[in-house]
Amino acid sequence: MTQTLETSHPPLTLLSSDEELFQSSVRQFARERVAPLVREMDEKGEFRPELLQEFFRMGWMGIEIPEVFSGAEGTFFHAILAIEELAAVDPSAAAIVDVQNTLVNNALLRWGNEDQKKRYLPRLATDTVGAYALSEAGSGSDAFAMATVALDKGDHFLLRGQKLWITNAKESGLFLLFANAKPEAGYRGITAFLIERDFPGFQVGRKEDKLGIRASSTCELLLDDCRVPRENVVGEVGQGYKIAIETLNEGRIGIGAQMVGLAQEALDHAVRYAKERKQFGKPIAEFQGVQFQLAEIATEIEAARLMVYNAARLRESGRPFAKEAAMAKYFTSQVAERAASLAIEIFGGVGFTRDYPVEKLYRDAMIGKIYEGTSNMQLQTIAKAILGNRG
């Protein structure tokens, strides 16, 4: 099994012909339509609305949603391939597709009732961006220390509180939001709600000015007695903690795919530049020291990709995958940072400027160790799994 440094293609034996064709179509679109807009979107901190519309038209915002609900009826693995290929051009684009598919759509497909699926899945597949609202100022890694409460009023709930760092919030029309309906029960009171943007008492607040993935919006959400109909409870009251845990396990595979795509793009840039840049009368790619650095990171990227694909395949086959998802997210975030850093080093002085693309990849890579569970939280999950198996 061989793979050249210049390509972002995974070994063909890992993909079916359908998956290979799908991956190729995403790659082509990303290179032709997204790439020319990346710098502008990064500088302005805004994602182009027409690109979002094209994502819907291509079916990438509803990959696993069944055709009966206007979705593409693809697989989880298709979503992972799309995320990886988009991240190789713009991690912000990948983050938008990732949250939509691995978090919002997945949660509704698994936990939503038939009425909720009929009302919301067609919208998510065709024209409505979704957001996943869990984090708060006092509940990041400790996600279940949330202060947002839901007061039971019989046929509806009144939600009070604030959510922070919510991806896709600026563009979203639907929010899968978690609040505690029984604070005295601790995490067992956490409940998932479907909130439409125009619900009374709901407001999208300040947009964060971020280091990386700047075109992907990250905002606060304000709930001032937000009225949510009882029929918009996802699952059952008090079941939100389980929904959150299981959904985030899948989301971490998506983050892994983001990081693999980013890392591969950083390596591809570094290889091309190393072949062009001459010092001491020859391309720096001919120096063994540079060759070894590139070979080492290429090996790490291949290992990272295989970890992501393995976790995705386990999920698709219905087998346990929480440990493998945590491993994939932890390792890929490390590799992405190293690959982006090496790319800047290979580029030298110009790599430190915004005239070349690698500095953006380095900024974008920093989020990998933080969102959807910090690296320390992934290590905790892994440790519990391996120690439990030996207990």
- Give me the active site residues, please: 372
- Judge residue 88's burial from the number of C-beta atoms within 10 Å of its C-beta, 0-12 exposed, 13-18 middle, 19 or more buried: buried
Q: Residue 375: what residue type?
A: S
Q: Where are the alpha helices (DSSP H) in the chain?
A: 17-29, 38-44, 49-58, 76-87, 91-98, 106-111, 114-126, 240-276, 288-316, 322-347, 358-365, 375-390
Nearest to 146 by CA among 197, 186, 107, 111: 186
**Helices 322-347 and 288-316, packing angle to 10 deg:** 160
Backbone angles phi, psi at 193, to 5 degrees: -125, 145
Neighbours of 303 (CB within 10 A): 12
Backbone angles phi, psi at 224, to 5 degrees: -120, 85
Element (H, E) at 185: none
In angstroms, how far apart are the furthest CA atoms of the chain?
A: 79
Sequence-ordered list of residues with C-beta below 8 angstroms from that of 53, at least 6 positions apart, any chain: none
At 89 the three-state DSSP class reads coil
Q: Tokens 């086959």 correspond to what residue? A: 317
Gap between the Cα atoms of 106 and 87, Å rounded = 20
CA angle, 103 then 108 then 114, to 5°: 170
Q: How far does Cα 356 stand from its chain's mean position?
A: 25
Sequence-ordered list of residues with C-beta below 8 angstroms from that of 266, at least 6 positions apart, any chain: 336, 339, 340, 342, 343, 358, 361, 362, 365
